[in-house]
A and B are shown apart, each in its own frame.
Chain A
Amino acid sequence: MTEALSLVPKAEAKQSMKDFKSDQEVRWCPGCGDYAVLAAVQGFMPELGLAKENIVFVSGIGCSSRFPYYMNTYGMHSIHGRAPAIATGLASSRRDLSVWVVTGDGDALSIGGNHLIHALRRNVNLKILLFNNRIYGLTKGQYSPTSEVGKITKSTPMGSLDAPFNPVSLAIGAEASFVARTVDSDRKHLTEVLRQAADHPGTALVEIYQNCNIFNDGAFDVLKDKQQAEEAVIRLEHGQPIRFGAEGAKGVVRDAATGDLKVVAVTPENASQILVHDAHAASPTTAFALSRLADPDTLHHTPIGVLRSVDRPVYDTLMAEQLDTAIERNGKGDLGALLAGNDTWTVVG
């Protein structure tokens, strides 16, 4: 087990998915993509083998933020956008906990954008699951910061004017040490990404494309439909050449002129130039370039998988080390000595 979970107590007995289901009735709309993600997380948790009392799910506000109620762990359903801040306080003071944040595109990128980027740059030991459905669901269908330009919604009858965020690009720009993207309907891929995220020391951001079947149905169909997905999805695997399409007919190469990445048809001549994915590259440049391949409108060339996973000092560890160093240098705090200070005088009765 890596540093990420080394301080978290292990479960005494073997766990099953059932152990992580709370007694609360799940109240998402029938057919919501959140069900799939919940099932995947509940199914994956036993694999970690952690004492479930040492697992905490913290969420903000939005449909996905109801998630903690359905996990039989400790949990907090907080206020809009603030989950990363609250989780930072918990994780940085309790290194024996495995702390997960569940958030959505509005919660994390709009009202809570500031907390998200600062959690990422600090590299607090948090696993952030960002459910991106490209719409505001709980408030019944306004455009979100990931909605495509021109989107017709209740609040944008003539089309949205905002350029969207690409959450993966944003996270890489915010110094994230772990950034991945996956899709709600691909249980296997989702579980594998969760596995790597859980194992990562520091903040892990996992963007999960999630279908809102009420207000933005089919937003990710192009990535799910077998035929279309071949053109649309670029599956990233560390150490493997980045190829996709029918029989890997397409690949990603670096453009010698600009240094940027581009998609090409693979030929015997260029096969050796196909970029080999290196999630552990020290520089975020290539990961960022990969994140920019996706077309925000058509979702063509959307990379999924772990874009970036690098080791960087973890905030909670550094914080704890400073406490240890302070004790080494000055001894354990002595309240009497502190209150007395150096300049005193005595009044005799």
Chain B
Amino acid sequence: MTSQVSSPAEKADGADGADGANDTVVGEQRSTAGQKPSEKEIRRLDRVIIRFAGDSGDGMQLTGDRFTSETATFGNDLSTLPNFPAEIRAPAGTLPGVSSFQLHFADHDILTPGDAPNVLVAMNPAALKANITDLPRGAEIIVNTDEFTKRPMAKVGYDTSPLEDGSLDAYNVHPVPLTTMTIEALKDFGLSRKEAERSKNMFALGLLSWMYHRPTEGTERFLRTKFAKKPRIAEANVAAFRAGWNFGETTEDFAVSYEVAPATRAFPPGTYRNISGNLALSYGLIAASQQADLPLYLGSYPITPASDILHELSKHKNFGVRTFQAEDEIAAIGAALGAAFGGQLAVTTTSGPGVALKSETIGLAVSLELPLLVVAIQRGGPSTGLPTKTEQADLLQAMYGRNGEAPVPIVAPRTPADCFDAAMDAARIALTYRTPVFLLSDGYLANGSEPWRIPEIDELPDLRVQFATGPNHELADGTEVFWPYKRDPQTLARPWAVPGTPGLEHRIGGIEKQDGTGNISYDPANHDFMVRTRQAKVDGIEVPDVEVDDPDRARTLVLGWGSTYGPIAAAVRRLRAAGTPIAQAHLRHLNPFPRNLGEILGRYEKVVVPEMNLGQLATLLRAKYLVDAHSYNQVNGMPFKAEQLATALKEATHD
């Protein structure tokens, strides 16, 4: 009766049970929040993919977030994919206005938000229509029947009700009058119909929480905190949430509920939390500032999907964090660069169009050789493109998007939680080498979330730097002087002499500087030397070797960078499980590349590079290593699906 995932692993677990007969446990559900123990059938699953979909104003992102929180608290591994339009409120009930949140959770470690949902919660006809093509046959669909009236259906082109015309026969449909039942449940709260209706997402969340045995305390606590100033609304939402739970418990339409055991074996020991990429990145910046013992200064201009970092950092002024919302992208990075000159850990956050505007200032930072983090959360381009969708098409912009020879190191996180470590690593490079650094995340990592093992503070790297304090050069006549461009022979970094340091007064600027003294110089030989030296500094940055995962001595290597890690690793697992050897490697450092990359590429007969662009990494690899890298590209604003990648990689291993 259901297509919900049932794997051999799950059946093996079931066989260990007391009766040894099947994977069904009856009547042993944990009592939750005052609910009576259920008499209904409970099935065990090893993983589930749920998609909540509704109108932009239906609160689907919040619903998804809460279900994720409950799931994280329960201890499953999980991965999420929020997907929403750029319009804050597109016309109600239309296809462009549909907002969805997909969550994949499991009793083992997983790598992606899942290809196809097992369960779709559709709050209106538009949500059904926009998502139905992604559902495999047999998937469960919970629909809000109250919205399936003539006008909302006509808006999306349903002439007849899909709930009645047989078009959903291939699916397991649960028709639920969510709106009516929510209003009924809240009739004693003295709310208007409109106010009461707003809680229907909490009714749906309650129902799903019942279906999957999620802990409910966290959501109730969350609602009471969120609506602390409106206790009546808080209690109404809690009541709707509980009504949804109770509905599942009592109605005959839902005969079965499901258990997905905690993924205890998937995680190394430790304390965990759920975290999104932008939050992890924000925490990474604060941690870097603490570990460097330098105040954090963020210059930023609001832009999707990077604004959350500005919002988050602005909450943490008690860490000495200064956040400056500038008049434009250029001022945002300008202020950050000014702060860097003054000795702060300076950051600017943006997305592709903002990077374009900041280019000239990044070039100045290259010339001034000051530490500066340029955090770019990539989105669909060109131009305004797809503001809320993901893409990896700004790699070449980060690499080359400046006038002159202006090399900038590039660091790319691979998963939402990895944004923390990547931010600290980017700060390490910026501070050690006195250079702007790109931290290249994307919309998928930014908004997606996963469990994160919270690091101990003493595990974090020491990022402290030494400001210049005195003269560093002796002239022929024995005079001790300060030369702002006299470099560290190892790192080629120049001294960081901050204003306020007596005796080190100096002037820097974007005009070419004389080696050593930093004075203006138009000398041809000096310019040639300085261009090569700036390049050598970036080329010489220490980055760890890239590791290859190749248990079967494969002939084909799949190489990725950034957020494609999850889908690529999931596809590789599928191939190997089916007996096809394939090697996998993933790049964190795009500039400079790891020292061993050329040697690794040379080991394999074939190198496949999946990217959410038209082959930008592949272009760099071909240019640098003369390797015949094969691109596999998708630029549809969405992450790769594991199955699709597995098919493509399998083909690649064959020809």
Contacts and interface: CB of A to CB of B under 8 A. Distances in A.
A323 B320 contact: yes
A286 to B, nearest CB: 28
A342 B337 CA distance: 35
Interface string B506-539: 1111110000000110000000000000000000
Interface string A68-84: 11011111111100101
A182 to B, nearest CB: 25
Contacts of A118: 326-327, 331
Nearest to A327: B318
Interface stretch (B115-123, B244-252, B270-278, B640-648): B270-278
Contact of B330 (A82, A94, A333): A82
A85 B299 CA distance: 10
Contact of A74 (B270, B331, B340, B506): B506
Interface stretch (A47-55, A163-171, A215-223, A276-284): A47-55
B342 A88 contact: no
A61 to B, nearest CB: 8
Contact of B283 (A55, A329, A338): A338
A132 B161 CA distance: 72
A261 interface: no
A330 B270 contact: no
Contacts of A348: 269
Interface string B322-351: 101011101110111111111110100000
B499 interface: yes
Given A88-B331, A326-B317, A94 B73 contact: no
B399 to A, nearest CB: 21
Given A92-B324, A115-B331, A347 B338 contact: no
Contact of B368 (A76, A85, A343): A76
B500 A96 contact: yes
Interface in A9-37: 9, 22, 24
A74 B360 CA distance: 22
A339 B509 CA distance: 39
B18 interface: no
Interface residues of A, number: 62
Contacts of B316: 326, 333, 338
B507 A69 contact: yes
Given A52-B505, A89-B324, A335-B286, A340 B499 contact: no
A24 B75 CA distance: 66
A341 interface: yes
B478 interface: no
A86 interface: yes
A133 B653 CA distance: 69
A54 B500 contact: yes
B322 A93 contact: yes
Contacts of A325: 317
A85 B273 CA distance: 38
A86 B334 contact: yes
Interface in B255-313: 264, 267-274, 283, 286-287, 290, 295, 297, 299
B455 interface: yes
A33 B332 CA distance: 33
Contacts of B508: 75-77
B240 interface: no
A91 B335 CA distance: 9
A147 B115 CA distance: 63
Contacts of A89: 297, 299, 324, 334-342, 346
Interface in B41-79: 69, 72-75
Contacts of B331: 82, 84-85, 88, 114-115, 118
Q: Tell which of A86, A319, A326, A336 has the most Cβ of chain B within 10 Å.
A: A86
Nearest to A315: B324
A24 B335 CA distance: 27
A174 to B, nearest CB: 11
A189 B419 CA distance: 56
B75 A347 contact: yes
B262 to A, nearest CB: 8
A78 B339 contact: no
B338 A340 contact: no
A40 interface: no
Given A79-B360, A94-B342, A331-B318, A340 B504 contact: no
Contacts of A322: 317
A62 B295 CA distance: 33
A172 interface: no
Contact of B272 (A58, A77, A335, A344): A344
Contact of A319 (B283, B322, B457, B502): B322
A115 B335 CA distance: 10
A51 to B, nearest CB: 7
Nearest to B287: A335
B544 interface: no
A331 B500 CA distance: 28
B243 interface: no
Contacts of B344: 93
Contacts of A329: 318
A5 B316 CA distance: 28
A197 B509 CA distance: 26
Nearest to B266: A347
| Most chain B beta-carbon neighbours within 10 Å: one of A54, A78, A96 | A78
B364 interface: yes
Given A323-B320, A340-B271, A53 B295 contact: no
Contacts of A84: 331
B474 to A, nearest CB: 16
B499 A56 contact: yes
B556 interface: no
B105 to A, nearest CB: 13
Contacts of B336: 89
B331 to A, nearest CB: 4
B503 interface: yes
B342 A93 contact: yes
A346 interface: yes
B175 to A, nearest CB: 34
A336 B273 contact: no
A194 B327 CA distance: 27
A333 B319 contact: yes
A90 interface: yes
A97 interface: yes
B472 interface: no
Given A69-B507, A347-B272, A88 B286 contact: no
Contacts of B74: 345
A97 B338 CA distance: 12
A76 B510 CA distance: 9
A90 B510 contact: no
Contact of B520 (A9, A69, A82, A343): A69
B335 A92 contact: yes
Nearest to A96: B500
A322 B323 CA distance: 11
B501 interface: yes
Interface in A216-245: none
B454 interface: yes
Given A82-B331, A86-B335, A345-B273, 15 more contacts: A76-B507, A82-B330, A85-B334, A94-B499, A97-B499, A118-B331, A326-B317, A333-B319, A336-B456, A339-B455, A343-B73, A344-B273, A345-B75, A345-B272, A347-B272
The 7 closest A-B pairs by CB, nearest first: A77-B509, A89-B338, A89-B335, A85-B334, A333-B319, A349-B269, A326-B317
9 contacts: A24-B519, A68-B507, A69-B509, A76-B509, A78-B364, A94-B342, A325-B317, A340-B271, A341-B454
